[in-house]
């Protein structure tokens, strides 16, 4: 076979492989988008829930500028119509590095000590990490709320919860000791700010 024909075949094979890889990535993005699509508008906060929030927020609390990574992470709609995540008796884990890839979130879900609602704070989430977090939040047994937080906010949270930040390497290795799992009686987050009440309350109403 002439040399030119081999070159044409080789180029064609490379193009086919590149197209297959691009198609796979497109399908993964589409699957992530489908998995995170909300099933409907979050329910409005009830009077009982609002009263409970007032009760909990009467205690010492921390308000920071951390925001929901996506409106799809909301659990309720506030009285003014804002998508808002409201978690009681939640675990809070803080990572100072961007979280990239589905496996990172899966490792956190597996490592969650008691399977309770989970708040994940990081400087950013890529589309795959965010997709897995939101898919579990919307369709899993407990809520998973990703928050975008800068260094000052992350430091304030670990100080308030008396916890330690984890690292991307630790998450990937599965090394998630008890001190990285902060506990919050209440977390209220929207696209403007986040408020936390530290500690644990066995009487919390879900």
Query: Could you give the CA distance from residue 83 to residue 71 in angstroms, rounded to a whole number?
Result: 6
Q: Above 50 in pLDDT, residue 190? A: yes
| Each residue's pLDDT tens digit, 118-128 | 999 999 999 99
| φ and ψ of 5, to 5 deg | -65, -40
| Each residue's pLDDT tens digit, 6-29 | 545 555 555 555 555 455 555 555
Q: What is the CATH number of the domain that holds 141?
A: 3.50.7.10
pTM: 0.80
Q: Give a yes or no: residue 1 inside a domain.
A: no
Burial 14-43 (b: 16+ CB within 10 A, else e): eeeeeeeeeeeeeeeeeebeeebeeeeebe
For residue 96, give its domain range: 47-198
Give the pLDDT band of residue 41 (cuts 50, 70, 90). confident
Q: Give a yes or no: residue 145 inside a domain.
A: yes
| Each residue's pLDDT tens digit, 146-165 | 999 999 999 999 999 999 99
Query: Could you give the CA distance from residue 68 to residue 57 in angstroms, rounded to a whole number?
Result: 20
DSSP string, 151-181: HHHHHHHHHHHT-----HHHHHHT---GGG-
Kindly report which listed range (22-31, 55-64, 114-123, 136-145) carries the lowest average pLDDT score. 22-31
If one counts the domains in the chain, the total is 1
Q: Give a yes or no: residue 9 inside a domain.
A: no
């Amino acid at each position: 076979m002439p040399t030119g024909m081999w070159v044409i075949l080789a180029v064609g094979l490379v193009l086919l492989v590149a197209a297959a890889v691009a198609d796979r990535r497109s399908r993964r993005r589409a699957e992530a988008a489908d998995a995170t699509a909300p099933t409907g508008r979050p329910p409005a906060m009830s009077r009982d829930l609002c009263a409970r929030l007032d009760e909990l927020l009467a205690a010492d609390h921390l308000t920071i500028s951390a925001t929901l990574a996506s409106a799809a992470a909301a659990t309720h709609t506030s009285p003014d119509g804002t998508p808002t995540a409201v978690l009681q008796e939640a675990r809070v884990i803080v990572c100072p590095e961007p979280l990239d890839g589905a496996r990172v979130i899966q490792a956190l879900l597996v490592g969650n000590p008691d399977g309770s609602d989970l708040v994940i704070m990081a400087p950013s989430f890529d589309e795959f990490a965010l997709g897995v977090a939101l898919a579990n939040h919307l369709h899993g047994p407990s809520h998973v709320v990703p928050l975008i937080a800068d260094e000052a906010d992350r430091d304030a949270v670990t100080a308030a919860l008396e916890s330690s930040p984890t690292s991307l390497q630790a998450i990937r290795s599965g090394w998630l000791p008890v001190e990285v799992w902060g506990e919050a009686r209440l977390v209220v987050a929207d696209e403007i700010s986040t408020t936390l009440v530290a500690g644990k309350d066995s009487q919390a109403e879900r």
